[in-house]
Amino acid sequence: MDIDILLALQQFREGAGSFLTEFFAKMTFFGELPTAIVIMAVVYWCVSKEFGTYLLMGWSGNRLVNGFLKVTACAYRPWIRDARIVPYGNAMTTATGYSFPSGHTMNGSTVYGGCAVRKDLSKGFRIVMGLLIVLIGLSRCWLGVHTPQDILVGWVCGILMMWLTAKLMRWIDAHPEKDLLVVCIGIVLAAVIAVYAAVKPYPADYNAEGKILVDGAKMANDTFKGVGWCIAFLVGWILERRFVGFSTDISSQKKLMRLGSGLLGYYAVSLILVPLVKNWIGGPAGTLISCFLQIFYIAFLFPWIFKHFEKEK
């Protein structure tokens, strides 16, 4: 049934002109990893440290859950399951890993769902955030890169993880001495998932020419990314709590300075350092370490830098 729905959407997409398709192509952008990471970093550094921590912690958990489910279900992408499915434009370039559940939908459920469930935000803003979650999910089906099942599970897992994260943060606030325990448990879970993804068998189906349809080892790359991001956040979070303790209760001028210098550093890490590490180390270890560097910069390194810089000023 899920393929039938995609075929119906594809037929409608091809006959409806470019307006809706361009709209959904823009909506899917809001669920992409670079977009989600930058938004969370800006909130964490410049808007609200508490809210940014909540988003980063929930997102880290969501990436672990997404990576675990992907390599467990090993669901092929729609166009591999049925050659009649033709994704729109370059949508396939951001559709990495296995199909189930949708990573874009879970990213959206983290960032915008995290806003939608916050009762301290205005009702109108929360409604817009909720609508954005729905549109991101629908865009993945409209563009032909995910099935409705991928989207529905992505919504449920993403929102559930943010709800659990909110409860966890309240528990940590009540028991601050337990923060290291949370970090240790999280790192152990991440390590177990990494080992699981590395050693488990993957399906090996071949086409009529004898070529493998999907390389399971390559599909597991998304899981190793999630492990690297999660461990980086946990390590960065505990180090920031112990040795930095920055605040977002600062002047607008300082916030603008943090924003500009922070994003410049982030893009230097992501566009220069990360590719170098991947090429130098390679394999799952290179993926894990390079992704670790991205989030460790956001969670600890840049806060440590600007805290010392602002202190000198």
pLDDT digit string, tens, across residues 245-296: 999 999 999 999 999 999 999 999 999 999 999 889 988 899 999 999 999 9
**Residues 140-197: tens digit of each pLDDT:** 888 888 889 999 999 999 999 999 999 999 999 999 999 999 999 999 999 999 999 9
The residue ranking higher by pLDDT, 143 or 40, is 40
Whole-number pLDDT of residue 8: 83
- Token pair in block for residue 32: 């992409």
Give the separation between CA 200 and CA 160, rounded to whole angstroms.
Answer: 27
* 3-state SS assignment for residue 212: strand
Q: How many percent of the chain have pLDDT more than 90?
A: 58
- Answer yes or no: is pLDDT of 313 > 70: no
Task: Give Cα separations from 167 to 57, 160, 163, 200, 242 (angstroms).
Answer: 12, 11, 7, 32, 22
Amino acid sitting at position 115: C
Provide φ and ψ at 121, rounded to 5°: -95, 160
Long-range pairs, 127-130, Cβ under 8 A, ≥24: none
Task: Give Cα separations from 244 to 140, 247, 250, 299, 306 (angstroms).
Answer: 40, 9, 15, 11, 10
* 3-state SS assignment for residue 119: coil
- Answer yes or no: is pLDDT of 95 > 70: no
Residue 309: band (very low, low, confident or very high) from pLDDT cuts 50, 70, 90:
confident
- Answer yes or no: is pLDDT of 138 > 80: yes
CA angle 225, 296, 43 (to 5 degrees): 100
Amino acid sitting at position 73: A
Whole-number pLDDT of residue 44: 97
Whole-number pLDDT of residue 298: 97
What does the CA dihedral 294, 300, 301, 302 come to, rounded to 10 degrees?
A: 90
